[in-house]
């Protein structure tokens, strides 16, 4: 999924881009820390598609266990905030994976998320102020 392109976006599209960018940053930071900690993730891992969720959950459980054990023992062997960025190499592009029909399905999902993000149920308190202040992804 991609943000809405261009400069002449509606307020709803700008809010979607803001929320999308925030979520992407969180995911990239979390995955960067996991990749640095569990170097196995730097290589191609042979995991069946149906087992990917279990694989990721196991790594997250190990990560949380190690972090908790280190903090309770007083050993700070874990990475200081932001240090993983100095060590990680960019991921290689796997190329185009979807057909045009799949792209259209993603556009529809993006529009549904956009509508949700501006609805009372999906809003976050500061999103309108951030977008009005000129948020740049």
Residue 56 lies in a domain: no
The total number of structural domains that make up the chain: 1
Q: For residue 37, give the DSSP letter.
A: H
Smallest CA-to-CA distance from 113 within 30, 41, 18 is with 18
Q: Where do we find the tokens 């960018």?
A: 21
Smallest CA-to-CA distance from 59 within 18, 30, 86 is with 30
Residue 70 lies in a domain: no
pLDDT value, residue 4: 93
Residue 64 lies in a domain: no
Residue 62 lies in a domain: no
pLDDT tens digits, one per residue of 21-72: 999 998 888 888 888 888 778 788 888 889 889 988 998 899 888 888 777 7
Residue 20 lies in a domain: yes
Q: Where do we find the tokens 């874990």?
A: 78
Q: Would the pTM count as exceeding 0.75?
A: no
Q: What backbone torsions phi and psi does residue 122 show, to the nearest 5 degrees?
A: -105, 0
Residue 122 lies in a domain: yes
- Segments forming the whole domain that contains residue 39: 11-46+76-132
Residue 57 lies in a domain: no
Q: CA–CA distance from 115 to each of 7, 11, 55, 111, 133 (Å)?
A: 19, 11, 32, 6, 21
pLDDT value, residue 17: 94
């Amino acid at each position: 999924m991609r943000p809405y392109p261009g400069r002449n976006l509606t307020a709803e599209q700008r809010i979607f881009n803001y929320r999308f960018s925030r979520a992407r940053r969180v995911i990239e930071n979390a995955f960067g820390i996991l990749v640095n900690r569990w170097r196995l993730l730097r290589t191609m891992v042979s995991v069946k598609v149906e087992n990917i969720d279990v694989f990721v959950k196991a790594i997250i459980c190990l990560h949380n266990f190690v972090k908790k054990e280190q903090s309770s023992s007083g050993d700070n062997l874990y990475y200081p905030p932001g240090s993983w960025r100095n060590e990680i190499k960019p991921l290689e592009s796997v190329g185009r994976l979807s057909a045009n029909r799949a792209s259209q399905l993603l556009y529809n999902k993006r529009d549904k998320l956009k509508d949700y993000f501006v609805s009372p149920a999906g809003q976050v308190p500061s999103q309108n102020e951030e977008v009005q202040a000129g948020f740049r992804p």
